[in-house]
Amino acid sequence: MMNSANEWQTALLAFLGEAQLLLGKSEECLSHLHLIRNDSDAIDCMKASLAKLAEKADGLALQAISEFSGHLQNLIANAQSPLQLHDEALDALHDCLTLLAWQLELIDTRTGELSLDESEQTSLIATVALQIPQKDLSHKPPQHLHHGS
C-alpha cells in the first residue's frame, strides 16, 4: 500500500509509461501476426505483454484495465488454434488494443479514476471470443461424431 498520495501518483505515472510500452509491444506483435500468421513468438509476446499489463494495473487497483487486459490474454491463451488467427480475429484484437490505449489516456493522473461505459469492452470481448474459438469444451454442446447405424 502506498504511504502517501504523492507515492501513489508517482506509481501511477510509472505504470502509465510502462503500460504504453507494453501496449506498443502488443500492437507490434499483432502487426507481425498480420504478416506471419503462425509466429508463436509473436503470440507469446502478446500474451506476456497483456498479462503483465493486467498484473501491473491490478497492483494499482485499476480494475477496468486489469480485467480487460487479462480477459484478452486469456482468450489468446485458450485459443484452439493460436497459430491460425484469421484477419477478423486479428482485427478484433486490434480494436481491443485501440480501446485499451484510449482508456490509458483517459485515466485521471491525480485520482487514478477511469470513468467509462463498460459496454464497449464487453462488446469487443464478445467479438474476440466469437472470432477466436476456445479450447474449453464445457461451453460447447456435445458433438456426436459417429453414429452407428
What is the per-residue pLDDT across 14-54, written as a single tens digit (0 to 9) for each? 999 999 999 999 999 999 999 998 899 999 999 999 999 99
Domains in the chain, number: 1
Mean of the per-residue pLDDT values of the chain: 87
pLDDT tens digits along 64-81? 999 999 999 999 999 988
Give the CATH number for residue 100: 1.20.120.160
Domain span including residue 67: 5-133
**Model's pTM, two decimal places?**
0.85
Does any domain span residue 49?
yes
- Whether residue 38 is contained in a domain is answered as yes
Q: How far apart are CA 5 and CA 78, in angstroms?
A: 39
Q: Is residue 146 part of a domain?
A: no
Residue 22 lies in a domain: yes
- How far is 37 from 52, CA to CA, in rounded Å? 23
| Residue 140 placed within a domain | no
